[in-house]
Amino acid sequence: DQQVKQNSPSLSVQEGRISILNCDYTNSMFDYFLWYKKYPAEGPTFLISISSIKDKNEDGRFTVFLNKSAKHLSLHIVPSQPGDSAVYFCAASVSSGSARQLTFGSGTQLTVLP
């Protein structure tokens, strides 16, 4: 049972346009959400996070939106750059959990075309 789902395995966007990556979750106990970027044969790099007390968090070109009622979050990248091409994973966590483990989605391969 996948608790965190990224239904789009891939996304192609033209340079300069907006990239929107989506993520859905089923566990209502999740209260902290993160996005990671990963290149092949490397570990994931933390991008941005959001607590469930917020519905939006912005950091430069990256904005994460959280819709708790829909159990949905999205990552917006604008403007998209060729260097943004990578696999993007969303992850979710329960803050009150002792280990605060992350549950990852399956990832979305973003390709930004020059």
Using CB under 8 A as the criterion, which residues of the chain lie in contact with another protein when the complex forms? 32, 34, 36, 41-46, 49, 51, 89, 93, 95, 99-107
CB of 79 to another protein, least distance (A): 26
Nearer to another protein, 78 or 102 (CB): 102
Nearer to another protein, 52 or 78 (CB): 52
Continuous segment of H or E residues that includes residue 34: strand 32-38
The Cα 51–Cα 40 span in angstroms is 28
> What is the Cα 69 distance to its own chain's centre?
18
45: Cβ contacts below 8 Å, ≥ 6 apart: 36, 37, 38
Nearer to another protein, 25 or 89 (CB): 89
CB of 17 to another protein, least distance (A): 25
CB of 24 to another protein, least distance (A): 14
The Cα 64–Cα 59 span in angstroms is 9
